[in-house]
Structure 1
Amino acid sequence: MRIFRGCICVAAFFTMFAIGCSKKEPKINVVAMGAVGDQKTLNTVVFQEAIDSCSNRGGGVVFVPKGVYVIGTILLKDNVTLELSENATLLGSEHFEDYINIDPFTDATGQVRGNCLVGARDVQNISIIGKGTIDGNGGKFTPESYKKRKVKLKGQKNANRPFLIRIVRSSNVKLQNIRIQQSGAWAVHLYQSKDVFLEDLNIYNHCNKNNDGIDLDSSHDIFINNCKINTEDDAICIKATSSLPTYNVKVRNCWLKSDWGAIKFGTESMGDFYKIDIQDCFIRDTKGGGIKLLSVDGSNMHDVVINNITMENVDMPIFIRLGERLRTYRNAEKRIVGSIKNVKISNVKATTMGLDEARVSPPSGVFITGTPNYKIEQISLENIEITLPGGSDGIAGQIKENVKMYPEYTFFNVLPAYGIFARHIENLDLKNVVFLLESKDARKEMIFQDVARKTIK
């Protein structure tokens, strides 16, 4: 099943869940099973027994009424819906020993990952719905909190801060209406999963490092709609920590704010990225890039459409990078350098941050770069309008190649063009690309280096 190939498939997706949680199947109230929502009692065992019982009977609903329920790791099972009432909160335990690592891996920063609060592994037909809250209590996993609570860390525990929701090798997944907040690390991580529907999520994640919103990792057939995401790190991140691709992804009508990046492909980019369609999104107050497309670990990125994006107060609205870092994950063999082609970004209206806010000041609007040995194959920008503060005296240093470095535009410092700086590209098509200045900028509007063919209309 493909959940976004036409209205019929989306309707079929909802029908599947309606059947999976019909009135004939059990609805188990966790309080009836012995759970206590007093913000003190550890309820992990009771919640897991309710989930297991529901699944063993063929599926149904595990219902969480009003209250604050402290839990460690709970694992969803086949055909189970976890329903949170409007005044219900699942609160993550502050103790490491209450968490389970359901699929260990080491991320791009060298940190061991895998622990989570709500997890699923090798299951199907699962959902989390309702108007309640899942709170990761991530502030308890900071060095300041450890010191205050006199917590003694052992081994990799400091690195393995728990994710909030983690779905591994599972299918037919739905998250809808819930509030997700304050994870120890990423808020929602989908790994090697498929047929996923995420809608009306409210994600707030600002209490720890690497506080991403939604991470799509080597997964496919995903529909994200009408989500509000406010994060310390990447808001929506498309990545691949395995050689399997991330593909067939649609994102619609999302509101995004980030202290680092709003829409990002990479940096973990072993597997390919393709057939990705992102439209009708609003981005604001984002310090680390609005749209960031990064292939640096061997990913072949193609057939990407990003359309109708509005940005306000965003540092570096568009950044595209093909690099040669070639980092591996999960003991995989090293891949060859990847490619970027058939990428179209259109109908973007953006204003950048001011001189005092931008991480690179004065800022630029668009930065696209391959490497001297590996050129980006094809990029199309159409109907782009970016307003910038200006303010440069025209002096900019040599822009280094940084072919194997972590792919971040801040490492290149001030660019020699205020509008677009593009280099190492085979084909670049620009149509109605406009840059507006609020004050004088002595830099050139556009600079192209080692661009084999460009069209400007």
Structure 2
Amino acid sequence: MKKNKIVAVVMLAIGCLPAALLHAQTSKEKEPFSWSNLPAVTQPVFKPDTFNIVQFGSVADGLALNTTPINKAIATCSEKGGGVVLIPGGIWLTGPVEMKSNVNLHLDRDAILLFSKDFDQYQLVEGTYEGRRSARNQSPIQGTNLENIAITGRGVIDGNGDVWRMVGRDRLTESQWKAKVASGGLVSSDNRIWFPSVKTKLAFDQKRGTAWLPGQTLKDFEDIKDFLRPNLVVFNNCKKVLLEGVTFQNSPAWCLHPVLCEDLTVRNLFVKNPDYAQNGDGLDVESCKNVLIEGSTFDVGDDGICIKSGKDEEGRKRGKPTENVIIRNNVVYKAHGGFVIGSEMSGGARNIFVYDCSFMGTDIGLRFKTVRGRGGVVENIYVKNIRMKDIVQDAILFDMYYFAKPPAAGEKVEVPPVTEATPRFRNFQITDIVCNGANRGIFIRGLPEMKVKDIDLNNIVLKTNKGAEIIEANDIRMKDLTLLSSNSNPVVYVESGSNITMTGFKYSPDAGVVFSINGNKNENIRVSNANLNNRNKVAFSNGASRSAFITE
């Protein structure tokens, strides 16, 4: 990214991009959207009036249930024009908390808001699960159609998620497994899965799901209620939302889930889940507009920072992309992905800036995933200054076969027509990336009917076991890419790729085959300044034409 573009990103983040800078860009630089229309994120503002939950009868002994006094404090604060609801030091046991407009729920440093293990405290409600209408238990913290709300402070919010989650024995140490069994619940007949309740086991045994089918009512889910784990925090259709400073941990399912929100700020959080927590995502931003995520740390059981916008037809009908997002100065430890888009992105995602972040120990670093049937357009994604270490699988991944079986190399398949259900990945700029340790550096896999396209990868250094695979991709531009792959032959594999350029490519000096071009659907693969004088460095197979590969 050129200097004026770097300045633009920084100034965009603080909402003061001057018009003169817009005209300073050269004609060769693409401008996929108008920067002047990307607003800054508006922060909520609160009255100084403070409502201490102790004044409403709350008791900090970890035993008394404080659901009623906490919710009364929040409601009273809102009714009186808003302010701060204070949770002072102590362990405050509670059931579901209902946020109200103009309320800042503030936790002192030594405060623990602990949600009840009693499933009966949580009502069955209509919600969503992975982008679809579903039956769920009431979220521990929730709010709908609110404005000017916040959860701030330095305390801890604990969702008590372990009591909700069934877990496999292979995910725990032997001592953890023994402790889990001793805590109660049930164990499967093969002694491999622990269930928290009879209702959870019934749902598993009967292969019941959460989806709300036509003609069903909430009563149809009563017999498996405990299986319908809630997300810890759900804000739906809210404006001017702030989450700052607090530790959110041990969520029953997703941890933080804003949906259809506008002007959302997530700042200086610590989001923590066990690494065995299924669906234990850190932050899932779904169909939101104008978002700032900064200075936060994630150590979770599923994706860390994830962008979503609904699933399949429901998401397309909603038609609300997640857009105008700034993600900066965050750290992600254990997670399925550090920064993720998808797979539920049917409403689209666009105008997203990610920079100055570190991923350490995540399964995948930059993870962009979708599948046929999703639809949706993911575009105008800008990523810069990402540092990765000890990535388990791929440093950078684009995959349009998420949870689907791709065709084998050379296999003849019937290519479906392009429809509104065909997903699209296009116009990504990924710059200044360093990864020290991963199984594979780059994986790009599109669909025959809709390739991953228009991707720029610049100034990237990846030290990995394997190099790169590029399948069903078009207009992939790589400049100053270094792939130091210790166990890769070839370093770069290309199948059904077109208009792929590599300038200033570097690889391990002891590499055998550097490029493997597979199949007869490759064209215009151009490599310059890569020291490929030895013809054995390039291999062709399954009808690949030598004319498709051009060295300069």
User: Which interval holds the TM-score relative to the shorter structure?
Assistant: 0.7 to 0.9
Q: 1:83 to 1:382 in 2, by over 3 A?
A: same
2-structure distance, mates of 1:231, 1:220: 24
Paired position in structure 2 for 1:435 = 483
Deviation of 1:13 after TM superposition, in Å, equals 3.5
1:422 to 466, 470, 481: 470
Structure 2 residue 494 is matched with structure 1 residue 448? yes
Deviation of 1:365 after TM superposition, in Å, equals 1.0
Deviation of 1:107 after TM superposition, in Å, equals 2.6
Structure 2 residue 124 is matched with structure 1 residue 124? no
2:185 to 137, 147, 166: 147
Q: Which string of whole-angstrom CA distances, capped at 9 and with x for unpartnered residues, describes residues 258-278 of structure 1?
A: 242211111112111100100
Asked which structure has the greater CA Rg, the reply is: 2
Structure 2 residue 397 is matched with structure 1 residue 319? yes
1:168 to 228, 236, 239: 236
1-structure distance, mates of 2:147, 2:113: 22
Structure 2 residue 64 is matched with structure 1 residue 41? yes
* Structure ranking higher in helix proportion: 2
Structure 2 residue 386 is matched with structure 1 residue 309? yes
Q: 1:174 to 1:101 in 2, by over 3 A?
A: farther
Q: Is the 8 A contact 2:268 2:294 kept in 1?
A: yes
How many residues of Structure 1 are paired with residues of Structure 2 in the alignment?
402
Q: 1:110 to 1:204 in 2, by over 3 A?
A: same
> Which residue identity lines up with residue 294 of structure 2 in the other structure?
N
Paired position in structure 1 for 2:15 = 6
Q: Is the 8 A contact 2:368 2:398 kept in 1?
A: yes
Segments of structure 2 that go 5 or more residues without pairing to the other structure are 1-11, 18-37, 167-179, 187-194, 200-221, 405-418, 504-552
Deviation of 1:187 after TM superposition, in Å, equals 1.0
1-structure distance, mates of 2:129, 2:453: 31
Deviation of 1:50 after TM superposition, in Å, equals 0.7
Q: 1:4 to 1:75 in 2, by over 3 A?
A: farther
1-structure distance, mates of 2:402, 2:491: 28
Deviation of 1:115 after TM superposition, in Å, equals 3.0
Deviation of 1:455 after TM superposition, in Å, equals 1.4
2-structure distance, mates of 1:382, 1:4: 22
2-structure distance, mates of 1:97, 1:249: 38
Paired position in structure 1 for 2:365 = 290
2-structure distance, mates of 1:108, 1:13: 26
2-structure distance, mates of 1:187, 1:215: 8
Q: Is the 8 A contact 1:267 1:295 kept in 2?
A: yes
Paired position in structure 1 for 2:82 = 59
> Which residue identity lines up with residue 204 of structure 1 in the other structure?
K
- RMSD over aligned CA atoms reads 2.5
Q: Is the 8 A contact 1:271 1:299 kept in 2?
A: yes
Q: Percent of aligned positions with the same letter in both sequences?
A: 27
2-structure distance, mates of 1:216, 1:150: 29
Q: Is the 8 A contact 2:197 2:226 kept in 1?
A: no
Paired position in structure 1 for 2:287 = 218
Q: Which string of whole-angstrom CA distances, capped at 9 and with x for unpartnered residues, describes residues 208-230 of structure 1?
A: 32111010011111000100110
Paired residue secondary structure (1:426): strand
1:287-436 alignment to 2 at 5 Å?
287=363, 289-296=364-371, 297-314=374-391, 315-323=393-401, 335-353=420-438, 363-389=439-465, 418-436=466-484
* Structure ranking higher in strand proportion: 1
Paired position in structure 2 for 1:159 = 227
Q: 1:28 to 1:165 in 2, by over 3 A?
A: same
> Which residue identity lines up with residue 35 of structure 1 in the other structure?
S
Q: Which has the higher contact order (CA 8 A, sep 6+)?
A: 1
1:94 to 109, 113, 117: 117
Paired residue secondary structure (1:139): helix
Paired residue secondary structure (2:163): helix
Q: Which string of whole-angstrom CA distances, capped at 9 and with x for unpartnered residues, describes residues 264-322 of structure 1?
A: 111112111100100000000112x1111123311201100011000000021011023
Q: Is the 8 A contact 2:152 2:243 kept in 1?
A: yes
Q: 1:11 to 1:351 in 2, by over 3 A?
A: closer
1-structure distance, mates of 2:139, 2:106: 19
Q: 1:88 to 1:146 in 2, by over 3 A?
A: same
Q: Is the 8 A contact 1:238 1:264 kept in 2?
A: yes
1:234 to 290, 294, 303: 303
Q: Which string of whole-angstrom CA distances, capped at 9 and with x for unpartnered residues, describes residues 74-126 of structure 1?
A: 11111011011111111011012212456512337997546311111110000
Deviation of 1:429 after TM superposition, in Å, equals 0.2
Q: 1:203 to 1:380 in 2, by over 3 A?
A: same
Q: TM-score, normalised by structure 2?
A: 0.69
Segments of structure 1 that go 5 or more residues without pairing to the other structure are 327-333, 354-362, 390-417
Q: 1:12 to 1:290 in 2, by over 3 A?
A: closer
Q: TM-score, normalised by structure 1?
A: 0.82
2-structure distance, mates of 1:202, 1:190: 17
Deviation of 1:381 after TM superposition, in Å, equals 0.6
Paired position in structure 1 for 2:337 = 261
Paired residue secondary structure (1:48): helix
Q: 1:325 to 1:386 in 2, by over 3 A?
A: closer
